[in-house]
Amino acid sequence: MNETKLDSDLGFIHRFQPASNGSTRTLLVLHGTGGDESDLIPLAKILDKHAAILSPRGKTLESGMPRFFRRFAEGVFDIEDLKFRTNELADFVAKASKKYEFDPKSVTAVGYSNRANIAASMLLLRPEALSGAILFRAMLPLEPDKLPDLAGKRIFLSAGKYDPIVPPDNTRALVELLGKAGASITENWEPSSHSLSQAEVEKAKLWLRQSGGEK
């Protein structure tokens, strides 16, 4: 694993691990509030042990804790900041693909809860930055001014039927919008709340394997 570092050209503190065994996939892993660039490395390796891993640290602070965009309250987002941070993150991925020489057309985002929301925002505002995404407990982060073209994008979306933080209707609104934009969506509804289960991770791993890019 490369050392954690701040690259003045890329602009994010991040970690990067090259692909192995001929894999063409890169996993963009996004940590949660208070986490850092090391948090989801183990999850990424479970999902695809051979994929390259790009893991940035969020640049927004909430009570001193890093996250990827500002919010006013639980589920109430600062939309202008979300738009700015989404574009900033998409630009970082593009620059990182050149520096680390991975295929920018084979990047799959992995996010849970608020980090799934910025991954969804990337799909809606900067679709060229991702080939697909694994979204655990995501909600509709914003309404784009223009419907993106998500044809060819593959998305695994896993939600909890009894989630008190992300209402099922909000998740369904995201699914409907992504589908209307042309994305291929695999929905997985768990009889659970907001917590993530090992069973869901295994389902996402199988979905990822079936989507190609793994040797």
Catalytic residue among 113, 121, 131, 158: 113
> What does the CA dihedral 91, 104, 125, 35 come to, rounded to 10 degrees?
-70
Q: What percent of the chain has pLDDT over 70?
A: 86
Tens digits of residue pLDDT in 67-125: 777 676 666 788 898 999 999 999 999 999 999 999 999 999 999 888 899 999 999 99
pLDDT over threshold 80, residue 178: yes
Q: What percent of the chain has pLDDT over 90?
A: 67
Q: What is the pLDDT of residue 147?
A: 96
Reduced to 3 states (helix: H, G, I; strand: E, B; else coil), residue 166 is coil
From the options 2.60.120.10, 3.40.630.40, 3.20.20.100, 3.40.50.1820, give the CATH code of 5-210.
3.40.50.1820
Residue 188 phi/psi, 5-degree rounding, is: -135, 115
Tens digits of residue pLDDT in 138-174: 999 999 999 999 999 999 999 999 999 888 999 999 9
The answer to whether residue 163 is catalytic is: yes
How many Å apart are CA 51 and CA 25, to the nearest integer? 5
pLDDT (average), residues 33-39: 73
Residue 44 pLDDT class (50, 70, 90 cuts): very high
The answer to whether residue 194 is catalytic is: yes
How many Å apart are CA 131 and CA 13, to the nearest integer? 23
Q: What is the pLDDT of residue 40?
A: 85
Q: What is the pLDDT of residue 215?
A: 46
Termini Cα distance of the chain: 20
pLDDT over threshold 60, residue 2: no
Crossing angle of the two packed helices 114-125 and 79-100, in degrees rounded to 10 = 80
Q: Evaluate whether 55 touches 18 at the Cβ level (below 8 Å).
A: no
Q: Which is higher by pLDDT, 123 or 63?
A: 123
pLDDT over threshold 50, residue 39: yes
Q: Evaluate whether 193 touches 160 at the Cβ level (below 8 Å).
A: yes
Least confident of 41-45, 150-154, 194-198: 194-198
pLDDT over threshold 90, residue 63: no
The answer to whether residue 50 is catalytic is: no
Hey, where are the domains in the chain? 5-210
Catalytic residue among 39, 50, 81, 194: 194
Residue 34 pLDDT class (50, 70, 90 cuts): low
